[in-house]
Structure 1
Amino acid sequence: MISPFIDRDEERFVLEEEWSSDGGRLIVLYGRRRLGKTRLLFEFSKGKKGIMYFSEETPVRQQIKGLQEECARFLNDSLLSDLKIESWSQLFSYLVKNPPSERSYLIIDEFTYLIKADKSVLSALQKAWDNGLSDSKWCIILSGSILGLMSELALSYTSPIYGRRTRDILLEELPFCHAKDFLRQNFEDSMKTYFTIGGVPEYLQKASEYDTFDEFAKKELFSKYGYFYREPYFLLSQEFRELKIYQGILRAIANGRTKPSEIASHCGIETRSLYPYLEGMIRLGFVEKESPLLGSSRNSIYNIKDHMLGFWYRYVYPEKGRIETGSFRYEDCILSQYFGAQFEKFIRYEIAPLIFPGYDTGRWWHKGEEIDFIAINKSSKKIVFGECKYGAKSARDAKRILEKLKTKSGLVHAEDGYEIKYALFAGKVNDKESLLKEGYLIYDLDELKRIFKDTNIWEPN
């Protein structure tokens, strides 16, 4: 049974816009595995005519023959099916000379398999594009999951098809407002699941089989037969050769070593040798560099951006020995610190744009002091300082946290003349009404649920 297709409205709009444009179209769709690129293309192709070719890691001749047969079938061309075609140039040249009479798609899924087997496929496509495909009715979509290859060989300025692409689309994870629609868990458990595996559709589809987060984590994360138990190895091995170094970097960051010198020391390499590895993981969306808002970039740190990798290297990897021997007890695993850190990111990246549109958001730290959340609007001269406390807070605790926040905000170097507000984000805040009357901004889980309920569906401008 095919699951309902959720979101991707913006990407579908872009694809439809390309489809409706004049002349040939050459689109590159890329993104890490499990994000639903194939499903997106399947949905896009409904009601349209064309060829969808699913590439495989096979010898070049078999790849060419496979696409040749699909083209012959679509074009109803017995001559093409009987021709001896031995190169990509021959096949693409044939398509130039025998164009379709109406708008048609040519989708090559997992195009990176073709590049890996024979890089000449790119120059062959470039020549065919220049010799006629660009003026044809073909809408060509090249989809790929190996981000390193796609970035280096299909998207960079040195690529033969550079300057020929009419559009490239980076498919990213779903935000929580759409990710939660996969799940049948309650709001808080849905948040925990999202904090753990992010907005990857295939991951969410697996999580949708469980009514609670604990049941899901126990069976799929902390079991040697679980879906995610070996997923990081597979994901990293698709992109990197020096797997041990990349894993060392992720283990270091997951355990709180976020400065370059700390990461390098943990991995046993020089700090200056670390940066190419970090840059590679940033490019692929596995790691991110963070600088304090309203602070010095010299205090920048590195975090694991990918939810699943962050959780796995922080909690699953250290327990592999006990998991393998059957002595691990999920009940002994304390995840509150991780959920607290993810809750902060959740507020900054997903809640803030909804309640403070037009504000720059981030956090601030300096010499041991830290503020979880800052939102600033320079045009309206408004600034919000906030603290994020995952879990319930009594009125007394909440007031103490907010008073301390006021004191810390005085350490931040901001321009004079700003209207200042103070906010608390928490699971539950007792006596919330009295704090609101004092002018504080209070957001608990009930308020977050309301915000997401009122979130508008994406619409094109």
Structure 2
Amino acid sequence: MIFVNMIFIDRERELESLRQRLNSPNFELIIIYGRRRIGKTTLILKATENTENSIYYLATEGNNLQKFKEISRKKFPEIEYIKEDWEALFNFLKDKVIIIDEFPYMIEEDKTIISTFQRIVDNILKNSKTKLVLLGSSISIMENALSYKSPLYGRRTASMKIKELKFKDLKYYNLSIEEAIKIYGFAGGVPFYLNKVRTPFYNWINEELKKPDSFIKDEIDFLLRYEFKDISTYKEILFAISLGKNTLGEIKDFVKVKGDISSYLKKLERIELISREVPVTEGIRSKRGRYIIVDNFTNFWFRFIYPNLSLIEEGKYEIDEKEYNEYLGLVFEKICREYIKDKYNVKKIGKQWWKDIEIDILALGDMKIAGECKWSENVNPVKILSNLEEKLKKLDISVDKYIIFARSFSNNEKIDKAEFIDIKNIRKWFFS
């Protein structure tokens, strides 16, 4: 089965907002950013597909001024006679829609470019009908460009941070619930990866890994190099976290970096590959925080690809279904949290733990909900519920409702205050 390109799933609000901005009679400086592969370029091109006076320029690592003029000349031949100068070119292009993709490349090439654009906005564009759209995949660089220290601060009229799709959005890909969960474990909610996948998933992934030019093998290197010059330490940190080394001390011991490792972790947090998780009932400064990989594809890559690169290069590696099912336990927890957030008014949700006691889900909101997630068949729900109640008692936490999730249960016993959610219930919710 080949997927249809569903890049605009859950993007209707962004698309409508962009179109309103682009049709405004006033000047607009729109900033669009988010990780690579998330669909930023397709979104803006869709929003401007019927706009005749628009220019789309994809920045590169060098000679951007010359290349920008050449791209503009193909749409507006008269620009050939304009001086090769940013201010002169923008003055000529006044009242047009100007899209510059991967703007961070221009910043890397010329550190003064943001100041130059500030002068252009203040002196040439601000009283015009020009629409200037800047896109970037380097979250750190784009957020710096938006900060109060940036020359462009206060000039933007709109900014959009494009994020991953939710698990439930995968229903538009015409998948069975089982295939959706497998694919979500690989692709997360990143449209680029979702549009690469074919079904059945196990056949596709193992065929893909045997291709000498598979995008999967060097995808993480490609993503990290966009943010960091030296990626080796960042890769080892991510590998450590994927292996369950979640505390600062455990990560440092594994990576064996001299000096403080906190700066590396903060940078990985900033680009949203990892986050510092704390028990739900505690604040962000809790000393019991631990690091997790946020992104499913990154988790998948360090679990299955990174340790097996040599075998993959030889064409001798296949992903084992049993091992992948074990990995899906973590993915299933994410799906269960999304289920609860979708069904209940939740203000805060996550794990709760103390020493050797851990609860998969604790949700705080209109009601307090505790849950356990078991990506297994024939789970005894009464036994899991009893264990959960015992753990809550030890932690001195009372809740209004219990929810036990599993692929299937050994019985369907009804218990007050408890809900047993199996794959059939998940399917019903998924397609609702």
Does residue 376 of structure 2 align to residue 391 of structure 1? yes
> Structure 1 residue 90: deviation in Å?
2.9
Structure 2 residue aligned with 1:459:
none
Give the letter aligned to residue 265 of structure 1. D
Query: 2: CA distance between counterparts of 1:217 and 1:336?
Result: 14
Q: SS state of the match for residue 392, structure 1?
A: coil
Q: TM-score, normalized by length of structure 2?
A: 0.92
What RMSD in Å do the two structures reach over aligned CA positions?
Answer: 2.3
Unaligned runs of 5+ in 2: none
Q: Do 1:223 and 1:323's aligned partners in 2 also have CA atoms closer than 8 Å?
A: no
Unaligned runs of 5+ in 1: 455-461
Q: Do 2:252 and 2:261's aligned partners in 1 also have CA atoms closer than 8 Å?
A: yes
Q: What is the correspondence of 1:212-361 to structure 2 with a 5 Å cutoff?
A: 212-221=200-209, 224-269=212-257, 273-295=260-282, 297-331=286-320, 334-348=323-337, 350-361=338-349
> Structure 1 residue 120: deviation in Å?
2.7
Does residue 35 of structure 2 align to residue 10 of structure 1? no
Q: Do 1:29 and 1:168's aligned partners in 2 also have CA atoms closer than 8 Å?
A: yes
Q: Do 2:279 and 2:351's aligned partners in 1 also have CA atoms closer than 8 Å?
A: yes
Q: 2:419 aligns with which of 441, 451, 455?
A: 441
Q: Do 1:92 and 1:125's aligned partners in 2 also have CA atoms closer than 8 Å?
A: no
Summarize the Cα distance change of 1:138–1:426 in structure 2 as closer, same or farther, 3 Å threshold: same
Q: 2:172 aligns with which of 181, 184, 190?
A: 181
Query: 2: CA distance between counterparts of 1:222 and 1:346?
Result: 30
> Structure 1 residue 2: deviation in Å?
8.3
Does residue 135 of structure 2 align to residue 143 of structure 1? yes
Does residue 182 of structure 2 align to residue 192 of structure 1? yes
Query: 2: CA distance between counterparts of 1:111 and 1:2?
Result: 29
Summarize the Cα distance change of 1:325–1:4 in structure 2 as closer, same or farther, 3 Å threshold: closer
Q: TM-score, normalized by length of structure 1?
A: 0.86
Query: 2: CA distance between counterparts of 1:370 and 1:243?
Result: 33
Give the letter aligned to residue 67 of structure 2. G
Does residue 98 of structure 2 align to residue 106 of structure 1? yes
Structure 1 residue aligned with 2:52:
49
Query: 2: CA distance between counterparts of 1:93 and 1:48?
Result: 20
Does residue 366 of structure 2 align to residue 368 of structure 1? no
Q: SS state of the match for residue 287, structure 2?
A: helix
Summarize the Cα distance change of 1:410–1:221 in structure 2 as closer, same or farther, 3 Å threshold: farther
> Structure 1 residue 413: deviation in Å?
4.3
Does residue 389 of structure 2 align to residue 406 of structure 1? yes
Aligned structure 1 segments of 4 or more residues deviating by more than 6 angstroms: none
Query: 2: CA distance between counterparts of 1:221 and 1:410?
Result: 47
- When the two structures are aligned, how many residues end up with a matched partner? 427
Summarize the Cα distance change of 1:419–1:304 in structure 2 as closer, same or farther, 3 Å threshold: closer
- 1:33-83 deviations in Å (ceiling 9; x for gaps): 1111111011101223332322242533xx223333454565x562x3212
Structure 2 residue aligned with 1:27:
30
Q: Percent identity?
A: 30
Query: 2: CA distance between counterparts of 1:346 and 1:289?
Result: 19
Give the letter aligned to residue 249 of structure 1. I
Q: Do 1:185 and 1:213's aligned partners in 2 also have CA atoms closer than 8 Å?
A: no
Structure 2 residue aligned with 1:84:
83
